[in-house]
Structure 1
């Protein structure tokens, strides 16, 4: 199938993009605590340079009160320019364009992440910590910080600037009626936005875009109609508009697999109707067909988690190669309070600096056709080995075949399809219904040491679940058909908050009851056990990757 429009060139503010695919700005924690881009971050972006445009993660504009996360990029001082110039040079050498996303987080931070005593916001509406309402002096200072950061961005070699006005950060706090409660002229948040864009426009010659949430999932906040009015007022000041979603709650553009409608095309149509500016659209876009649907409304498809899962997505679409799918699990890519960015299905993410393993030759036998074995076989075949994969059951997939959650199963079967197609493409010989028991130097047993608990069937009972094991979350979908099911908050403790929120909604649809503790209900079956490190898809695939990568290494 041809996806010609996806690979058409487009000009944004005078900057020509080689295709209509942009990499979404996503926090990584790969920068230094001082805000410098590290070599790891540089290679992370270079690895994804087949996109026509890379938009950096949100980059804070002052070292006073603008930062939102540790190890976040910052452009608050001229001292950072040489390292940012190294970043833009590397991305340009890889053949693509790069915009920097500038941000002040406002109330969406904590005291221990900033250098002043109290976070600032348009109004005294706290979120994480107490906040102070901004004075006009604060407003002028912040606008000046954006201007100085924009000048540094241009001097660093960036091709454009994106102002982050989405996801409940400072610009969005001015724009959203839900949190802007001021009594002066800035009660109209567009006044602040206009002043900000004009000052930045006067200071730089590169394109300026605005990222804005087309919906905040709150009738009191930004809606498509409100956003359309905002864009109509500032259209003449911008070079493009980037539509995302969300504010402070669990729902946003990075929806997990429990969200039934993965993109925001209908909302984008409302904005499309009022502007001829190039329109960028993000939101759980993972397949070429998803991208084509987006291009019916928008001009540029913005890929986020999918480019984490498979950095070669544009190349593979063009060549009709198997694409490793983002399964929308919101796990390793969302643990940014304490970790660098990772991906459950792509164990190379964050390790792009590692040298390639040496090429190999000869036959290798991999025993085990689950995720670990399939990943081991994939990596070995890429290294040049002749791989034979043995699975004792009648199909590949291992524990994936036990999943009962229909939402999770739909995404993970896409992962199975990828492995089956990729192993076939790489020439891996697969033997099903065959148990291999011999040992040898060329045999790898790729079977996880731990596994999730197997399904047990219950009928007509009262079941209490007080465990965080992922398998039990799946089994609730089956148990709720024939039993009374009660769950505690421990069930959701290891999940990204959006995934937890939506899983709770799905459980409510099934009639599952929520209780405070094990003692809250007299149950026929009690399932408990909270684990800090439980078996997971990410750990299993990573184990297979490293088995395949290190095979044949001489210690």
Structure 2
């Protein structure tokens, strides 16, 4: 089955050992100056150890003036940075993978405080967050040369190729999108700028690809047929591959949450596949082996994003039928990272790959609690070499996972419970259900969260207002709407990733939930809890990980 994923392929002048690539994803693990830190190198190295053929770095800015999009983003704006980047490329090559650097100018998709107090620039004066300045011809010439210079630095740094970020509403995408480019000069045809950059990079004998949004989810923006024409022109300019994603600035964007289908943009890509004549990379909620094989039917290279954050050994485990820690597409810790480092709710080691290996242990350990915290603690202890028994007083594992009422959560989040069941069985953990044990000896871990979500309320025929940021009430709204008149304030969802917020609101409306701006009117029941530090899957798993990692028999 996996043969199609393991075939080698030539992309430009580069040979890839297989058809799996790691997607470019901002991590903020770089330094404030823009070079890869040891933590960043360890983070990407772990994915190379997992066997992927190609790693594409996070978006990397090209000047120290107006191109940066996040505070600790990578940057290739100066020759002084190349020795630090050589540390990264040397390590990835030693581990058997190839590595491309993705180059970006954020354009209007940044903030003044991120670009050192300067004003964001864009093809047209259409602000996104801060006020923007329309680019003049000197700006365009400067940016073009900065992309070319950054690609030369990439070659010197040992990168195998470069990828231009022409998707997701960044500067090159702004030029190509009719919804954003309102210029009246020669660069009203925004593809012209990209053609010139590609031609300049090819003169330096560097393999170059481009990431494009196959759709911008906007009637005024790019559609698949437009993208097909763009690709046709870029192929003539010398582009070596095309990497298709989706989205621009709106809530419908690239990393779709669990409220959206797997293989997010496959239909749009299929509609133009026969018009693309260079290797095609595709990305978009490819979560499991089935998804990857289906994507491979359309694409030459399958690009994994959040799946490799959740489990860097995704490919190796797929080949050996080991349990893969699944991405549940919660978008809680891997999105919105202008000012923070990347984390993953289901993988507590993400961002901490630089830590030394766990100490070995031996002896018998009892873990009390069969929720996410207890299952993770048991997993870690078993991997360390302990003989582990897990006790759960209910008749099944899952803990607070069993309280979910949101049908999308139930469908996606059950996969992490299944992973733990399979992994604990593989590791030889003994599980005792409907059992309790006194945790007052030196060989016991009490792995039950101090904070618990409220139980689902039993209400019928009531007029209910949900004015709460608690995730539990977002979830229970599906359940309550069956027998009650339910209202929810828009502010209740404000703490969620905006794509998840948008799709959750749409799905709640379909089951009859009414959204209001303010909490006004008479209601039989009002839920208005607002807590900053609330129970989450990520916190439980992280706590379980550290309980298991730091435990020692007394």
TM-score range, shorter chain: over 0.9
Query: Following the alignment from structure 1 to structure 2, what is the Cα–Cα distance between the partners of residues 261 and 316?
Result: 20
| Equivalence for 1:175 | 176
CA contact (8 A) 1:65 1:116 kept: no
Between the two proteins, the alignment pairs up a number of residues equal to 551
Query: Following the alignment from structure 1 to structure 2, what is the Cα–Cα distance between the partners of residues 337 and 106?
Result: 15
| Equivalence for 2:390 | 389
Q: After TM superposition, give the deviation of residue 521 of structure 1 in Å.
A: 2.0
| Equivalence for 1:231 | 231
Counterpart mapping for 1:28-177 below 5 A: 28-49=27-48, 50-115=51-116, 117-177=118-178
Query: Following the alignment from structure 1 to structure 2, what is the Cα–Cα distance between the partners of residues 548 and 411?
Result: 26
| 1:109-165 alpha-carbon deviations (Å, 9 max, x no partner) | 111111463211111111111111111111100001011101000000000000000
Query: Following the alignment from structure 2 to structure 1, what is the Cα–Cα distance between the partners of residues 312 and 42?
Result: 12
What SS does the corresponding residue of 1:22 show, helix, strand or coil? strand
Structure 1 gaps, min length 5: none
1:326 maps onto 2:331 in alignment: no
Q: After TM superposition, give the deviation of residue 263 of structure 1 in Å.
A: 2.1
CA contact (8 A) 1:20 1:299 kept: yes
What SS does the corresponding residue of 1:59 show, helix, strand or coil? strand
| 1:16-70 alpha-carbon deviations (Å, 9 max, x no partner) | 1111110000001111111111100000000000211000000000111111111
Counterpart mapping for 1:361-510 below 5 A: 361-510=362-511
- 253-262 or 86-95: bigger deviation: 253-262
CA contact (8 A) 1:370 1:397 kept: yes
| Equivalence for 2:542 | 542
Q: Give runs of ≥4 in structure 1 deviating > 6 Å.
A: none
| Equivalence for 2:258 | 257
What SS does the corresponding residue of 2:18 show, helix, strand or coil? coil
CA contact (8 A) 1:21 1:52 kept: yes
CA contact (8 A) 1:228 1:270 kept: no
- 259-268 or 388-397: bigger deviation: 259-268
**Normalising by structure 1, what TM-score?**
0.98
CA contact (8 A) 1:404 1:478 kept: yes
Q: After TM superposition, give the deviation of residue 553 of structure 1 in Å.
A: 7.5
* Cα-Cα RMSD: 1.2
CA contact (8 A) 2:105 2:171 kept: yes
CA contact (8 A) 1:490 1:530 kept: no
| 1:476-528 alpha-carbon deviations (Å, 9 max, x no partner) | 0010111111111332122111111111111111121112222x121000111
CA contact (8 A) 2:263 2:291 kept: no
**Normalising by structure 2, what TM-score?**
0.98
What SS does the corresponding residue of 2:253 show, helix, strand or coil? coil
Q: After TM superposition, give the deviation of residue 260 of structure 1 in Å.
A: 3.4
Query: Following the alignment from structure 2 to structure 1, what is the Cα–Cα distance between the partners of residues 459 and 118?
Result: 55
CA contact (8 A) 2:262 2:291 kept: no
Q: After TM superposition, give the deviation of residue 255 of structure 1 in Å.
A: 0.2
CA contact (8 A) 1:333 1:341 kept: yes
| Equivalence for 1:525 | 525
- 63-72 or 332-341: bigger deviation: 332-341
Query: Following the alignment from structure 2 to structure 1, what is the Cα–Cα distance between the partners of residues 336 and 366?
Result: 35
